[in-house]
Structure 1
Amino acid sequence: MSEALARIRPEARMVSICLASYVLAAAGLLEGLPATTHWRHAEDFQRSFPAVRVNPEVLFIDAGRVLTSAGAAAGVDLCLHLIRRNHGSGIANQVARRCVIPPWRDGGQAQFIERPVPEATDTGTAPTRLWALERLDHPIQLTDLAAHAGMSRRTFTRRFRAEVGESPGKWLTQQRIDLARHLLEHSDLSIDRIAERSGFGTAASLRQHLRGAVAVSPNAYRKSFRS
C-alpha cells in the first residue's frame, strides 16, 4: 500500500484518519510536515517516524496536500473541514445536521482525552485527589493538598508526581479545565458562573486557560457542541 501511495500524482490530496497516518508516514509522505494521530499512539508514532512533526494535541491538521486526523471522531471533523473548504459552510452544516454531529470543531482544538477519576485507595495521594475534585470551586493550594494527605509539601509533591506523572498544580488546573468543559457542553450556565464553579474565579481567567488547553474561547467551545 505504501508503494501505491508513493505513486499518487503530486497534486492529489491525501487524508488519513486515526492510525492511517502510519501508512502515509511509511510512504514518506509526511516527512518534514506537521501531522497528528490518535493520542494513545503519538509517542510511538514519533519514535517510528522522527522526521514527522507530530502534534498529538489537535483534532486534525491540514498541511495542504496531506491532511491527518486524530481519532475516528476527529476524522469526521476533518471530513467536514474538507466539505467546508470545497463546497462552503452551508453544505458542511447540512451534512453535519444529517449525521447529527456538531457542525464545527476547529482542527486546532485539542483532542477530547478523558482523564480517569483516581481510584479511592487508602494510600498515596488518591484520597486527596478525590477530596480536591469535590471542591474545585474553592481555592486549593499545595499546602492544602499536603495537609489533607498528612505529608510535607515536598513529600506530597514527590509522591504525586510518581503516581500521576505531573505536578499537583498542573493536575489541579487540568481538573478545573475539564470541569469547565463539561459545564460548557452540558449546561446553560453563564460563562461567569462556570468560571466560579470550576475555580477559575473570573471569565477572563477561564478564557485564558481554556484557550491554552483547546485553542478556542468558552463561547466557541460551547457553540461547537450545539447545532
Structure 2
Amino acid sequence: MAMMCKNLAMSRVRDQTTHRVAVLVRNGVLPMELGLAHQLFGNATTRSGRPLYTILTCAVTPGMIRTDADFPIYAPHGPEALASADTVIVPSTHEQDEDLKPGGLDEGLAAALDSARDARVASICTGAFVLAAAGLLDGLRATTHWLSSDQFARTFPAVTVDPDVLYVDEGRVLTSAGEAAGIDLCLHMIRRDHGSAVAAAVARRTVVPPHREGGQAQYIQRPVPDAQLTGSTTSASRAWALARLGDPLTLRDLAARDSMSVRTYSRRFREETGLTPMQWITQRRVDRARELLEQTDHTVDRIAAEAGFGTGASLRQHFQATLGVSPGTYRATFRGSVVPPRGTRGDLSTRI
C-alpha cells in the first residue's frame, strides 16, 4: 500500500501561493493524459473558490506538438517552466518511451528534467521510462503500464518494478500505470497536498471515483460485473458495509448480504475490486477517519469508534501503517483546507 503522506512536510502547499504544475509534453503525447492533469488539478480550489494549482503545458521546444490522435496541441511554455515548478508531470508517448535506455535522454530533455531537481516529479503510463532514463528512479520502486512492465524491468535493472499496482509514491518521485491510473495518481497528489475532502470535491466535479488505493491491481478480472451473467455481485454488501463502518463487520456478515458462501464471496470480491474484503474495509475506515479529522473536532478515540477501529491506539496504528503519519499530524496539516460537500458527509456512498 502506498505511503500516502510520506514526506508530508514537502507535500504541503504554501498557504498564499498556488502550487505550479508543469506538464512536460513530447511528440506523440496522449491527449487524455494531458487533459486529465489540467482537469483534475484545475478543479482543486479553496472554500472561497481560489485555485490551488497553476497548470502550465510546456515542451523542450515550445510550439505545436504532435499527439497520437489526428490533431496537434500547442505548448506555450519552454523548459524554463520546469525550473520554477513545484510538480512536474511527464505523460507518455508511445512513439519514444519504450526505446529509451539508461542515460539515453536527448540533451534538451535531460537538461529540462535536471532543472526540475527541486520539484516533485510524476509520470503517467510509460512516462516512467523517461524518469528511469534520467536516473530518477534508481534504487526506487516504480510502476508503468502492465504491457510494458517486463521491458521496463529488463531495460532498467536499477529500478524495482511493481507491475500490479495503480501507482507508486516514493516521496519526491511518483509513477502510475495506464491512462486511467493517471487520474488516481493526480487525485492522490491533491489528497497529499490538501487532504481527502479537497480531493473528493475534485473527483465529484469530474465524476470519477474519489479514491482507489495505489496498491490496487491494474487489471481486475471483473471490473464491471453483470449480475444477469454472473448471477450476483458484491456491490450490495459493499454499500451495506459503507453505511456501517463503525460496527463490527465480519467476512461471514458480508457474504451473507450477497447470499454467497464465504469462499465464493472472497473470490468474487477480489475479482471485482482487486482487494480482499478486509483490506477494502480497512481502506474505507481510514478514509472515514481522515474525513472526520479534517471536518470535525472529535477526539481521536471518538473518531476511532465512528470509523470502526475501536480504540485510538488501533486508529494510530492503522494511520501510521497506511499514511506514515499520526492522526494528530494529519489533522494539523489538513484542517482548514477542506471543501466539504453541501448536505453530505463526504462522498462515502460513491466508494463502492
TM-score (structure 1 length as normaliser): 0.64
Distance 1:26 1:204 in 2: 43
1:32 and 2:135 equivalent? no
Which amino acid is the alignment partner of residue 335 of structure 2?
Answer: R
Distance 2:297 2:106 in 1: 52
State whether residues 195 and 202 of structure 1, in contact with CA within 8 Å, keep that contact through their aligned partners in structure 2.
Answer: yes
Q: 146, 152, 169: which is aligned to 1:49?
A: 152
Q: How does 1:1-227 map to 2 (within 5 A)?
A: 2-4=105-107, 14=117, 15=119, 17-19=121-123, 21-27=128-134, 29-30=135-136, 32-34=138-140, 41=144, 47-50=150-153, 51=157, 52-53=159-160, 56-58=167-169, 60-61=171-172, 68-69=173-174, 71=185, 114-115=211-212, 123-226=232-335
Which amino acid is the alignment partner of residue 190 of structure 1?
Answer: T
- Structure 1 unaligned regions, length at least 5: 62-67, 79-100, 103-112
Higher RCO (C-alpha under 8 Å, 6+ residues apart): 2
Note closer, same or farther for the CA distance 1:124–1:164 as it changes in structure 2 (3 Å cut): same
Could you say which residue in structure 2 is the equivalent of 1:84? Answer: none
SS of 1:17's partner is strand
- Structure 2 unaligned regions, length at least 5: 1-59, 61-104, 176-184, 195-209, 214-222, 337-352
Distance 1:36 1:221 in 2: 25
TM-score (structure 2 length as normaliser): 0.43
State whether residues 210 and 216 of structure 1, in contact with CA within 8 Å, keep that contact through their aligned partners in structure 2.
Answer: yes
Note closer, same or farther for the CA distance 1:21–1:164 as it changes in structure 2 (3 Å cut): closer
Distance 2:141 2:191 in 1: 15
Q: Considering fraction of residues, name the structure with more strand.
A: 2
Q: Considering fraction of residues, name the structure with more helix.
A: 1
Distance 2:108 2:188 in 1: 22
How many positions carry a matched residue from both structures?
182
Note closer, same or farther for the CA distance 1:75–1:151 as it changes in structure 2 (3 Å cut): closer
Distance 1:73 1:164 in 2: 19
Percent identity of paired positions between Structure 1 and Structure 2: 38
Distance 2:161 2:309 in 1: 31
